[in-house]
Amino acid sequence: MSVLLIVDDEQIDRELFRNILQRQGHTILEASNYSQAVETFDRHSRQVDLLIADVALPERNGCELAKHLLGIEPQLGVLFVSGFVGYEVCKQYGIPVSDLHFLSKPFVARELAARVEKILNSPRGSPFPGPGEAGASKRQAHS
């Protein structure tokens, strides 16, 4: 299936995401902060289909991480999973928080699984407004 990069500074949250999404058949890569996420993404270049990131991360936030990775791979799917603080940060970056790209904590397993599938089966494009929206064509699935 798909390769997902999960970035959250809370190990228990990463384990929860991994347990839910591995049952759906996805390959899971994990990182606990911005730097680890960039290193992991670079090591698995062009293989990551979806970034699932907490917004509140050490070093730099999840929005900055997504912008950086989308600069490398514009067709990367993005899902922010966060609480109220993340909601406010996403609004500052112009990300529609009721949109496809934001899932509010707490959530139930089926919500996460359904949102991931919806993003993976939708045309890819940046969750950020502006020029990044132009390249929203669907990326070919990895074999």
CATH code, 38: 3.40.50.2300
Residue 37 lies in a domain: yes
Would you say residue 48 has pLDDT above 70?
yes
Would you say residue 20 has pLDDT above 90?
yes
Q: Residue 43 belongs to what domain range?
A: 3-123
Q: Using one digit for the tens of pLDDT, what is the confidence trace for 67-109?
A: 899 889 988 999 999 887 787 887 888 776 657 788 988 899 9
- DSSP at 132: G
- Please enumerate in sequence order all residues whose Cβ is within 8 A of that of 34, keeping only pairs 6 or more positions apart, or say none: 7, 57, 58, 59, 60, 61, 64, 65
Top-confidence residue, 131 or 1:
1
Average pLDDT over residues 25-44: 96
Residue 72 lies in a domain: yes
Longest Cα–Cα distance of the chain, Å, equals 37
Top-confidence residue, 3 or 67:
3
DSSP 3-state of 126: coil
Domain count, the chain: 1
Residue 18 lies in a domain: yes
Residue 73 lies in a domain: yes
Cis amide prior to 106 (ω within 30 degrees): yes
Report the pLDDT value the prediction gives residue 136, as an integer from 0 to 100.
34
CA distances from 140 to 41, 76, 112, 122, 127 (A): 18, 11, 23, 12, 19
Would you say residue 132 has pLDDT above 50?
no
State the residue for tokens 């990775």. 69
**Burial call 16-27: b when 16+ CB within 10 Å, e when fewer:** bbbebbeebebb
